[in-house]
Structure formats: C-alpha cells, structure tokens
Structure 1
C-alpha cells in the first residue's frame, strides 16, 4: 500500500479523469476473467464513482492511469502483458467448477456485469 501526498494524489486524479473515470460506465458490458480489464471505484467529493475498461476497446487503449499506478506501486509485481486472446481462451464452455480449474490451483473462471454503481456476478458471457 502506498500513501500518496497531495501532488501525487492530484496526478492520480488527473490520470483517472483523462481515462474517462468520471464518465458513465459501460452498463451491461460483461467482464470475463479470461480477458484483460480494469475496474476502478473511488469516493470523490462525497460521491461514489465507478468505471471499467475492457480490452480490446478504444476506452481501454485510452487509459492513462496505469503508468501513474505503477509509479507508486511498491510491490514489485509486474502487470500481466495485455494481448489478444486465442480462440480457445475466448470460448465459453460451461463445465462444473472443478473442471474449470484447468490444472491451475485455485483458479476459477468468472464473469461480472458492469452496473451503474459497480459489478454484479454474471452467469455467462
């Protein structure tokens, strides 16, 4: 966790604003855990704000806050490389949760629907 000073907080706010954070979120869009996306929520001026960006999209390509976040992140954990998914990765094959593990310990594919005030679980894409 990083503690930001006033100048750093302004940098973060400005980068969020430049990314469209304060615009309306893409309500109804489904986020797939197999894909790449950002979801951000914050209280600003006593008001809750939420937005999400999914790859590929023009909005995702316009994100400006990632570099700012990385600058203040002290974990040393690299972000995953954003890339196009293979057809196999995009394919939705309903299966029992145990079968969805794909031999990755603790892994489970999920979907979330973007709502005006956050995310809600979605049963399918």
Structure 2
C-alpha cells in the first residue's frame, strides 16, 4: 500500500467534524498494490540503497529538492533520505515506480539547481513570505529526523 499526502500553501476547502485540522492537510491518496507491484517497488528501493544506513548529519532544506522515504515492515521502522545534487540522488530507481502508483496525481517537480536567491536564508515571519509557507531545516539522525538550525 502507498499512502501519499502532498502538502501545499493553500488550505484544503473541506471540513470534517472528526478531523478538525483537515484544512491544513494535504492532497491524500491511498493505493493498494498487489504482490507483483509491491515486489517491483521493493526491488527499485533496494537498487536505490534504501535499506542501507541513512546519511546521518545531512540537512534537508524545505527550499531544496530531496526524497525522504519511510516504511514499517515486520514491526521495524526504516527510513532513508537523498538530497539533490548528489550521485545518490541521480541514481534513484524508485521514482518512476512511485509516480505510477501515486494516486494524488500531483506533479512531482523535477530537481534543479537552486538560484542564489533560493539558497539564501532570510528569516522572516511565514505570513510575510510571498510563497505562503515557512522554510524549515531537518537533520537526518540514525533513528529519525530532528529540527535543525540553518546549515
């Protein structure tokens, strides 16, 4: 099963009584996969180095391009991360497999080099940012992510 949620700057117009935070949730889709499809995904994850150790100490900048994949199998949590630009990011094999099974139909942006303005960190209140979102940094740890100071 793939459970995908894509967050955006706009609020979700719906409202659910049993989920009052719905307006701040993303576009969500759950896709059931058969055994053959699941094996293809697993093989593509293995070929991408998913089951190896995560790159501890790596900073993920919300203003950049990266993949973060997490799973729970046999009651064990595992995750990994790949940051652009890097040879590991360029060698990812699972992206096309995920695109085929992603029910959100939200287009995944192509990774590109950031402009100098995009790389520059200029702290300001989230409401003052034209883009409508708050920039954040997280650091890859052996057992999960933690919020990080800017790099």
Give the TM-score, by structure 1 length.
0.90
Question: C-alpha separation between the residues in 2 aligned to 1:2 and 1:124?
Answer: 35
Residue matched to 1:121: 147
Equivalent residue for 1:5, pick from 34, 43, 46: 34
- 1:32 CA displacement: 0.4
Residue matched to 2:86: 57
1:50 touches 1:116 (CA, 8 Å); kept in 2? no
Question: C-alpha separation between the residues in 2 aligned to 1:39 and 1:118?
Answer: 11
| Cα RMSD, aligned residues only | 1.3
Question: C-alpha separation between the residues in 1 aligned to 2:53 and 2:137?
Answer: 20
Bigger relative contact order, structure 1 or 2 (CA pairs below 8 A, ≥6 apart) = 1
Note if 1:104 corresponds to 2:121.
no
Structure 2 stretches lacking a partner, 5+ long: 1-29
- Aligned-partner SS, 1:39: strand
- 1:11 CA displacement: 0.7
- Aligned-partner SS, 2:117: helix
The count of corresponding residues between Structure 1 and Structure 2 is 122
Aligned pairs for 1:1-125 (under 5 A) are 1-99=30-128, 101=129, 103-105=130-132, 107-125=133-151
The runs of at least 4 aligned residues of structure 1 exceeding 6 Å deviation read none
- Aligned-partner SS, 1:7: helix
